């Protein structure tokens, strides 16, 4: 297979796939511990599913951009290796479910042939770089952010600074100040800004850091009101390096950047920014101009005379035009948005959609952050025929991006962390809105989002009306529940806010709760009042009082104990999330990890990639020191802590042969520009240190044979 595909797949991707095949084989042979293998496969897009024996395979699709041929290939692969369903996510990826582990290299191979990767789609890496689907056609955009998102994606893919972090990093580019990509809820958010200097327009970005959703949602802080375009990658790299070195690793729930810049729980914003500035000397690019031609030239639909077609349902067509179609900034062309129920589309319809794109739209499909699709460059005269063809596929449902377009993660359908069902209740609520509140679809700016648990994959914290899965103990029985949140999202001025938790009630009472909230809004909101303004005007207690009768356990009925889509009483079944690091290992294996980093550094030296040499040498030093610290049961939860503890326990006690201070040795990385001389010298120091680590470990085991297979359990390992 490899020789046949060698001219279609990059050298780097071939190495990735070959390594995945090798690691799977070693795992099957018992040569790699399950937790260790989990940490590896996650960064290759292979994520454990709720169902035993199968995986979820996640693609990494920067800013959700696909060509029609790429969509066809993903559809073909889903049919060949999975259940034939494509699931779009709020991070603009496509996930395939029910994948056999041994099929994952073949899936990756076939996707790489058309330029779709899985590298770093999961795990503690820089995740998919998201961006407004409207980019390039948004009438409100100062400039097209597409090339900037593409450059950022390429720069951090396989970059050594983000291969072994304590937690993931999420980056988003919005096309305008309306923040349609939720930049305020990301570790790094970029919003385009143009200012005038010496009579010329200069591009830059409002730069946000430390945002995040999940159990403790935080709105990002503004690092810069204007960061010049050539500085976005240098700043991001320096900040990730600080996060990697100082970020918490032991306590996973405190390991995101939002906690590191928090004044009480971390370094604080000012200290963090000071460290970022100090780190700037060590990065390879003080300026990184963005090549605005990175994205391939758009292929427009062929010039043609569109056929006259009859519209069978004129009312639906007009509703579709109103809610799903908008005029681009390019006059005469329209964006056509496609609503996908729960983000799902089967392979056959995906292929037929690709054919529609080739005939009538620009070959630049975008996955949207609300789990839909956006077609670009559809001419005005083509709209009737496009509607008819989409309608024949069931892809012309109106209400895209409205209250009738509910975002929902897979929840208990496939996810280990799902507490209660999210997809079934989403379908029921959408039906209620279309049947009973159709006027709100067109007249109110309300978003509803549902997650199966508190982790916010469905972005429930960023919704005007949000729900997340939970449970309620009532005697010996457990009720599947949803927590109701109100007041989140991005307002019309582009300001982000986090939803308030108002009440927890049985999942089966969600329809009644929604009716109560919407009826009150229709009755008591001021004319044209934004939902969040109405919510804040009345306050959290007011809404709790509206819903509290639904919470009373004495009023629960038998159906409340059965989750949506189920037939039996609810039984909680929550697994372990797979984004965490490994939970235990053998000291020798940790030292082998340091050897692997050293080998990578030497390989990068042959390519004159000096910055990568240096960072892999840095990791060699840190991981080697970690191995010896863990051998003596010294907790390792941050890189900076490892440096200081190694000095305390090994250097200052003269137990380890090192001239000078270990922290000073390692942090030379901050004092030197990443040139060849320093890279070679630093690599030599890392190699010598690792040799000394191995010698020390050999003596340690010889003196105490119980050390030989010593396990490092739970919280000691994370750094």
Question: For residue 411, what are its two tokens?
Answer: 């929840």
Give pLDDT, residue 585. Answer: 64
Give pLDDT, residue 7. Answer: 76
| Unique residue bearing structure tokens 């937690």 | 167
Q: 580 pLDDT exceeds 50?
A: no
612-658, pLDDT tens digit by residue? 999 999 999 999 999 999 999 898 889 999 999 999 999 999 999 99
Report the CATH fold assignment for 407-561. Sulfite Reductase Hemoprotein; domain 1 (3.30.413)
297: buried, middle or exposed (CB in 10 Å: 19+, 13-18, 0-12)?
exposed
| DSSP secondary structure letter of residue 190 | E
User: Which of 141, 123, 150 has the alpha carbon at shortest distance from 64?
Assistant: 150
In the chain, where the domains are located: 2-112, 130-282, 314-392, 407-561, 584-716
Q: 717 pLDDT exceeds 50?
A: no
How far CA 668 is from CA of 614, 616, 641, 646, 672, in Å, comes to 10, 14, 16, 16, 6
Give pLDDT, residue 582. Answer: 42
Say if 2-112 and 314-392 have the same CATH topology: no
Give pLDDT, residue 168. Answer: 94
Q: 3 pLDDT exceeds 70?
A: no
Question: For residue 180, what are its two tokens?
Answer: 């349609």
User: Which of 122, 149, 246, 356 has the alpha carbon at shortest distance from 642?
Assistant: 246
Q: 583 pLDDT exceeds 50?
A: no
326-381, pLDDT tens digit by residue? 999 999 999 999 999 999 999 999 999 999 999 999 999 999 999 999 999 999 99
User: What are residue 377's phi and psi, to 5 degrees?
Assistant: 60, 45
Report the CATH fold assignment for 314-392. Alpha-Beta Plaits (3.30.70)
Question: For residue 397, what are its two tokens?
Answer: 């449902």
Q: 6 pLDDT exceeds 60?
A: no
Question: For residue 282, what are its two tokens?
Answer: 């060590």
Q: What is the CA radius of gyration of the chain?
A: 26
419-444, pLDDT tens digit by residue? 999 999 999 999 999 999 999 999 88
Give pLDDT, residue 4. Answer: 54
Helices and strands, counts by H and E, the chain: 22, 24
Distance between CA 37 and CA 267 in Å, rounded?
32
Distance between CA 550 and CA 570 in Å, rounded?
18
Q: CA 486, 489, 492: angle at the middle one, nearest 5?
A: 120
How far CA 354 is from CA of 84, 359, 370, 400, in Å, comes to 16, 9, 20, 19
Report the CATH fold assignment for 2-112. Sulfite Reductase Hemoprotein; domain 2 (3.90.480)
Distance between CA 206 and CA 495 in Å, rounded?
13
Q: 575 pLDDT exceeds 80?
A: no
Beta bridge partners of 490: 496
Question: For residue 79, what are its two tokens?
Answer: 């049919």
48-82, pLDDT tens digit by residue? 888 888 999 999 999 999 999 999 999 999 999 99
Kindly indicate the confidence band of residue 456, based on its pLDDT and cuts at 50, 70 and 90. confident
What's the chain's average pLDDT?
93
Give pLDDT, residue 716. Answer: 43
Give pLDDT, residue 581. Answer: 43
Average pLDDT over residues 5-13: 81
Q: 548 pLDDT exceeds 90?
A: yes
The correct answer on CATH 3.30.413.10 for the domain covering 130-282 is: yes
Distance between CA 662 and CA 622 in Å, rounded?
10
Global confidence as pTM? 0.93
489-543, pLDDT tens digit by residue? 988 888 889 999 999 999 999 999 999 999 999 999 999 999 999 999 999 999 9
DSSP line for 604-632: HHHTT-HHHHHHHHHHHHHHHHHHHHHHT
Kindly indicate the confidence band of residue 106, based on its pLDDT and cuts at 50, 70 and 90. very high
Distance between CA 425 and CA 420 in Å, rounded?
10
445: buried, middle or exposed (CB in 10 Å: 19+, 13-18, 0-12)?
middle
Question: For residue 366, what are its two tokens?
Answer: 């975008």
Q: Tell me, letter by letter, the H, E, C secondary structure of 386-441.
A: HHHHHHHCCCCCCCCCCCCCCEECCHHHCCCCCCCCCHHHHHHHHHHHHHHCHHHH
The correct answer on CATH 1.20.120.330 for the domain covering 584-716 is: yes
């Amino acid at each position: 297979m490899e020789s046949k595909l060698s001219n279609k797949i990059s050298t780097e991707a071939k190495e990735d796939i070959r390594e995945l095949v090798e690691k799977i084989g070693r795992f099957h042979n018992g040569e790699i511990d399950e937790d260790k293998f989990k940490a590896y496969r996650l960064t290759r897009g292979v994520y454990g599913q709720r169902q035993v024996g199968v995986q979820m395979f996640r693609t990494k699709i920067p800013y959700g951009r696909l060509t029609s041929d790429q969509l066809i290939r993903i559809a073909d692969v889903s049919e060949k290796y999975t259940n034939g369903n494509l699931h779009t996510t709020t991070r603009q990826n496509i996930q395939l479910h029910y994948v056999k582990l041994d099929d994952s290299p073949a899936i990756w191979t076939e996707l790489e042939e058309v330029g779709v990767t899985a590298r770093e789609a999961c795990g503690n890496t820089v995740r998919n770089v998201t961006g407004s689907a409207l980019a390039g056609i948004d009438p409100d955009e100062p400039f097209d952010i597409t090339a900037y998102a593409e450059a950022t994606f390429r720069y951090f893919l396989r970059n050594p600074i983000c291969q072994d972090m304590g937690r993931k990093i999420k980056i988003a580019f919005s096309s305008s100040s309306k923040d349609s990509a939720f930049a305020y809820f990301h570790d790094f958010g970029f919003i385009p800004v143009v200012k005038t200097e010496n009579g010329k327009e200069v591009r830059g970005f409002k730069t946000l850091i430390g945002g995040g959703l999940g159990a403790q949602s935080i709105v990002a802080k503004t690092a810069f009101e204007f960061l010049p375009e050539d500085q976005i990658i240098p700043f991001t790299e320096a900040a990730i390096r600080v996060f990697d070195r100082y970020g918490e690793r032991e306590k996973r729930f405190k390991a995101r950047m939002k906690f590191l810049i928090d004044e009480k729980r971390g370094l604080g914003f000012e200290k963090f920014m000071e460290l970022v500035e100090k780190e700037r000397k060590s990065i390879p690019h003080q300026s990184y101009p963005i090549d605005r031609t990175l994205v391939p030239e758009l292929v427009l639909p062929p010039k043609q005379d569109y056929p006259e077609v009859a519209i069978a349902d004129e009312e639906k067509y007009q509703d579709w035009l109103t809610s799903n179609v908008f005029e681009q900034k390019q006059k005469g062309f329209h964006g056509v948005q496609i609503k996908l129920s729960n983000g799902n589309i089967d392979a056959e319809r995906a292929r037929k959609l690709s054919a529609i794109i080739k005939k009538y739209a620009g070959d630049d499909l975008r996955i949207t952050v609300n789990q839909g699709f956006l077609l670009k460059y559809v001419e005005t005269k083509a709209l009737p025929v496009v509607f008819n063809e989409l309608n024949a596929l069931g892809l012309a449902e109106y209400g895209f991006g409205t209250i009738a377009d509910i975002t929902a993660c897979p929840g208990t359908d496939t996810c280990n962390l799902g507490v209660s069902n999210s997809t079934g209740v989403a379908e029921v609520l959408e039906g209620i809105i279309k049947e009973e509140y159709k006027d709100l679809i067109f007249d109110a700016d309300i978003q509803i989002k549902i997650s199966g648990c508190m982790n916010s994959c469905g972005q429930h914290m960023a919704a005007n009306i949000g729900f997340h899965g939970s449970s309620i103990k009532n005697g010996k029985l457990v009720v599947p529940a949803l927590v109701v949140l109100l007041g989140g999202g991005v307002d019309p001025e582009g300001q982000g806010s986090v939803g308030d938790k108002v009440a927890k009630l049985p999942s089966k009472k969600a329809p009644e709760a929604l009716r109560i909230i919407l009826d009150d809004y229709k009755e008591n909101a001021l004319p044209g009042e934004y939902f969040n303004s109405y919510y804040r005007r009345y306050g959290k207690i007011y809404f709790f009082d509206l819903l509290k009768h639904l919470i009373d356990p004495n009023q629960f009925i038998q159906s409340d104990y059965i989750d949506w889509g189920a037939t039996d009483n609810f039984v909680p079944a929550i697994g372990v999330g797979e984004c965490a690091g490994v939970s235990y290992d053998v000291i020798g294996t940790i030292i082998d990890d340091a050897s692997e980093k050293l080998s990578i550094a030497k390989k990068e030296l042959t390519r004159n990639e000096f910055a990568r040499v240096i960072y892999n040498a840095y990791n060699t030093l840190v991981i080697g020191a970690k191995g010896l610290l863990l051998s003596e049961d010294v907790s390792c939860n941050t890189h900076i802590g490892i440096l200081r503890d190694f000095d305390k326990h090994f250097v200052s006690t003269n137990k380890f042969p090192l001239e000078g201070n270990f922290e000073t040795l390692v942090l030379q990385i901050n004092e030197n520009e990443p040139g060849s001389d320093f890279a070679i010298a630093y690599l030599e120091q890392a190699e010598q240190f690792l040799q000394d680590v191995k010698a020390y470990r050999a003596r340690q085991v010889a003196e105490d044979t119980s050390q030989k297979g010593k396990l490092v359990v739970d919280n000691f390992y994370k750094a």
